[in-house]
Structure formats: structure tokens, C-alpha cells
Structure 1
Amino acid sequence: MAGGVRLALAHRALLADGLLWQHGADRWWWTDVPAATLYAWQDGQRAPAACRLPDRAGTFAFCRSGRLLVGLAKWLCFAGPPAPGGRAARQLALQPAVVVDPAEPRTRVADGRTDRRGHFVFGTRIEAGEPRAIGSFYQYSQAHGLRRLALPAAAVAGSICFSPDGATMYFSDAGERRILCCDYDADGAQVANVRPFAELADAMPHGAVVDSEGCVWNAERGSGWLVRYSPEGERIGTWRLPVADPTRPAFGGAALDRLLVASAGGQLFHITAPGVRGIPDTPFDDNASIR
């Protein structure tokens, strides 16, 4: 399969990552990690609206209540219903939820995504200068709090996404240049049967998403490719972007038939992939009571 690539938004940023579609509000959201800023954009707008943050945000998710769950460098925090508007950047007020690795200054929160049950699964990455892979993977829920997943340590945790039935988790360590997968029990925060899914020859795996057919779309940093893998790990589609460092693909639109990819330079690109649709992200369940 092959298709076209066109520029959707020419916005410039230090790093656009964590791209998500907000259902109902019909907006694309992403984070500029070094600039500690969240952006929101509707199709047809000339420029995105901005929300300032007190620290770098590596990941975020939408909640059932309408709030936002934001992964700052060392904290997961809640924010009120985001309502960006106007050109002036707004300060996003945050309520701390849980601290992440408080005794480990060499890591920060990186990629994350809700699983099919509404728990938030994310990883950490090492800060510059640390030679060892000491990042971890976690699951956070209101019912159980923060639980570490028994997955291999990572230098840069990423590519987190889930099969349509939620029983398989995909993830990567950019330092290893491969995508892994495992059996995943959302309620028990248990993983098993960790195994290779796909090898990358000349690039680093970054953000990923699963479509309605169970295929995994991964952005390859360093090569400029967006690759679609079958559920068995076979490369069945490639799209070359006009930038070297795409960061994360996301499906959006009313029918989830629009595919955009964010890039390290801040631009968003539209990918033509006829007949392909996404799966709605399950909102984070922030209504469950803590046990």
C-alpha cells in the first residue's frame, strides 16, 4: 500500500509530539516538549492555540470527565477541561495526581497512551548524559494508582499502543531500534510473553498507533518514514515524509479516516491511506475510586 503525503499545518515548534485527536471538540492536540506547551488545532485554522505548562510534558490523555491527564517530567497531573482559544498562550492550571520515580533524577516521563480499559500506560526515558537504559513502563489508574509493568528497561520508551481487543501491547526502546510486543492484562497490570515485533535497520522507533484492522503505524525518527505493519509484524505500507524526524501518527475526523503525523520541527502532515480507519482512544477513567 502507498499513498500521498501533504503538509497539513506549517506551524514551527521545537518538537511536536504526542499527537491525539479530541473527539467531540474536533481538535488535534500535541505537545512541544522542550517549550513546555500544549497545542490544539482545528482543520482550517491558520495557527494552533497554545496552553503553557509549568514543565515539559512528554505525554497526555483525555479523561472521561472532560479533564486532561498530563505527564510532566516527574508528575502525572490533571487539568480542567481544556478550552484553547485566541492567539495568546494560556496557562494550564494543573492538579498533581501522582509522582513518577521521585528518587531518580536521571529519568522523565515520555510516551504514553490509554489502554482499551481506560488505564494510562506510559514509559520513562533517560535524560541526556546517562549511558544506561534505566527507563521503565508503568500503568496508572484511579482504582490502583501507579503500577510498574514487568518490561525490559528502556533508554527512550515509546511506540506504546494496543491491539483492538486490548490483549496485546506494543512498545519500543529507541535505543534498541526495534518494536516489541507482549500479552497484556489491563486489570491486573500484568504482562507476559515479551517478543520481537519488528526490527528497524536505520532509524529509531517513535510514536505509534493501531488501526481498525489491527495494523501498527510507527513513525521512524532519523529516516523520515511512516511504516504500517501487519499484526504479524510484516511491513505492508511505507510513506516517506519530507522531514527526517516524524514523531507520532494519529487518526482523527468524525469517521477516524484522517491520518496525520507530527514532526520534530512542529509541522503536521496528512497521509493518504484510502480505506483505513482508526480506533477511538478510550478516555482515561478518572471516575473510578482509589482502593
Structure 2
Amino acid sequence: MAPELLTSPKTQLGEGPGYDCETDIAWWFDILTCRLFTLEMKSRKLTEIPLPGMASMMAITTDRRQLIAMDEGLWLRDPDSGALSLYIALNSGKTGGMRTNDGRVHPSGSIWISSMAHDPIDGAASIHLVRQGEARLLFSGLTIPNSICFSPDGAAGFFADTREGIIYRVPLDPDTGDVTGACVVFHDGRGRAGGIDGSVIDRDGCLWNARWGTGEIECITPSGHVARTVGMPFKQPTCPAFIGAQGQGMLVTSASVNLPDDGIQGTTMITGHEFNGITDAYVIL
């Protein structure tokens, strides 16, 4: 399992890696510099797309548009023209200073998307369920929401508040992605170096978490225990995503913020290893 540092520009706050099986294209963002990167996997052609706001997550819709989480809402983007239109606004009634953060598509085609203050404020962050044009608040009182992912059958959701250091598990309706019961502690990462960041779950139910500050991706078993770690060529990994037709590879973003200018940062692809991964579902609008 040899991580390969891609020839992408250094990212101040890399986030939102994803992959589309139909086109064999991967993507990720640099939140702070308002850029979207797309990578054609076969040719390794990298495209940099400037955006009008801070974006953190993208998904492909069933009609082949791009749904981008940016600033205080979700936007539809035409991949040919680049035209953007607001799909749904988030954080209604809150006064400025908010942006989206971690998010992922549920197997049903719904989305969980988080929001937080630009400069993290205790208790100001939240997670919404977006389904068929409506947003419903699921969790509030968070600070830096992360680690959003789902079990292979869609019957369980996972999330964390990085400042707290705990990954929670919550039962879901597999047909909608909506919460049906109380949260329980899935993994307690307090007292350990680094912090919990983005996560993704494989077909075996193992959760792969980017451990901010340690330069590692952790594989956490369905029972909540760290089974092994994979070293990254950078100190601050932010989020993993499975890539390849069978989810056999992994793409990991990172951040250079608060590090020396000569620090090695960027986006890494792990090849030469057969992950038992799952690529994200398409969004049903």
C-alpha cells in the first residue's frame, strides 16, 4: 500500500474528495482558496476550477449535474457551462460567517451536509438532511462537524465533532437517510494525538478516518476499535474517499494551514492495494 502524492497544487484546506464511476473522474476542493479540482484518472489530467465561494463537498445528480455545498447552501452546477444556481439555502436566520463543511451522499440519494462558522464557534455548527428539495435539521450545538458517513445498507449514520473527539453512530431509515433513534458512542478518540476529521465506510463496515495532525488514516472496525493505520506523506489529512470501479483505491485530501510553507501538502492517491470500498451514490433531487 504505497501512497502517491499527486501533482496537485498545495491546498490550504483540502476537503470533499469524491469519485464518479461513470466518467472515472475524481475531485476535491481547497475551501479557503475557493477552488475545485477534477482529475481524469486514466490520463491524470488535472483541471482547476475557480468558484465564487468556499465549497467543501460535491455530488453527482441522477441527471448528471454537480451538486456543490458552498457557503450557506447547496448549488447546482452545469459541468459544461459552469453555470451555478442555488438549490437550497441552509442556516436560515443566522447572520453571516457560516460555510458548509463535511458531507456525504446517503445510499438512498439523500445528503447529510454540515455547516460551521468560518472561525469555529462553540455550538454554532449543525448537520442537515437534504432530501427532495427540503432541508431538515438533524443535529445542532456542534463546533467542527466531521466524519459523516453511512453503513453499506444505509441503516446507520456516523458523525463527529472534531473538538469533542468522539464518533457517534445513529440508526437511520435506509430508504430516506433520516434519523430514527438515539446516538450512541461508536469510537472514542479522546486522549489521543491529533483529531477526528473526514471518514468513509467500506463494504465490510470498517470506518476509515483521517486523523488530523498525525499523518495517518485509521481503519476502525465495526466494533469501534482501531485495527490499523496507513501513513500519509503529510501531517494533516482531512478526508478519504474510495476511487475506482470497485472502490479499490483511495483518495485523501490534506491541509497546509498552520504549517510551514515548505511542508509537503496536497492530495494523495493510494494505489497498489485492493480496498473493499464503496463509491458514493448519486443524488436524487
State if a TM-score over 0.5 links the two structures: yes
Match of 2:159 in 1: 171
SS at match of 1:176: coil
Partner of residue 139, structure 1: 129
Gaps of 5+ in 1: 84-90, 287-291
- Answer yes or no: is 1:38 the counterpart of 2:36: yes
Please show how residues 238-257 of structure 1 align to structure 2 within 5 Å. 238-257=229-248
Are the aligned partners of 1:212 and 1:276 in contact in 2 as well (CA < 8 Å)?
no
RMSD after superposition: 2.0
**Is 1:196 paired with 2:182?**
no
Aligned pairs for 1:8-47 (under 5 A) are 8-43=6-41, 45=43
AA aligned to 1:197 is F
Match of 1:180 in 2: 168
* Correspondence 1:127 to 2:108: no
Q: How far did residue 13 of structure 1 move?
A: 2.5
Q: Name 2:228's counterpart in structure 1.
A: 237
CA distance in 1, matches of 2:183, 2:3: 34
Aligned counterparts of 2:4 and 2:211: Cα–Cα separation in 1: 17
Separation of aligned partners in 2, 1:9 and 1:163: 32
Give 1:49's match in structure 2, choosing from 34, 47, 56.
47
Letter in 2 for 1:193: A
Distance 1:268 1:102 in 2: 33
Correspondence for 1:73 = 71
CA distance in 1, matches of 2:97, 2:181: 27
**CA distance in 2: counterparts of 1:97 and 1:41, whole angstroms:** 25
Q: For 1:196 and 1:242, how far apart are their aligned partners in 2? A: 30
Q: Is 1:148 aligned with 2:148?
A: no
**Is the CA contact 1:223–1:245 (under 8 Å) kept in the aligned structure 2?**
yes
SS in 1 for 2:246: coil
Structure 1, residues 197-235: CA drift from partner, whole Å, max 9, x if none? Answer: 112212111111111111100001111110011111111
Instruction: Identify which of 92, 95, 102 aligns with 1:102.
Output: 92
Asked if structure 2 preserves the Cα contact closer than 8 Å seen for 1:41 and 1:48, the reply is yes
3-state secondary structure, aligned to 1:14: coil
1:215 aligned residue: 206
| Segment drifting more, 221-230 vs 104-113 | 104-113
Tell me: CA distance 1:103–1:241, structure 2 relative to 1, closer, same or farther (3 Å): same
Alpha-carbon distance between aligned partners in 2 of 1:53 and 1:121, rounded to the nearest angstrom: 22
SS at match of 2:163: helix
Q: Deviations over 1:77-103 (max 9, x none)?
A: 1111x25xxxxxxx8321111111132
State whether residues 246 and 278 of structure 2, in contact with CA within 8 Å, keep that contact through their aligned partners in structure 1: no
Q: For residues 168 and 259 of structure 1, do their structure 2 counterparts lie closer, same or farther at Cα, with a shift above 3 Å needed?
A: same
- Give how far 1:281 is off: 1.1
Which segments of 5 or more consecutive residues in structure 2 lack a partner in the other structure?
A: 257-264
Q: Distance in 2 between matches of 1:28 and 1:209?
A: 15
Name the structure 2 match of 1:281.
280
- TM-score (structure 1 length as normaliser): 0.87
Percent of paired sites with the same residue = 27
The more displaced of 171-180 and 101-110 is: 101-110
CA gap 1:73/1:5 in 2 versus in 1, 3 angstroms: same
* TM-score of the superposed pair, with normalisation by structure 2: 0.89
In structure 1, the partner of 2:262 is none
Per-residue deviation, 1:44? 5.8
Contact 2:209 2:240 in 1 (8 A): yes
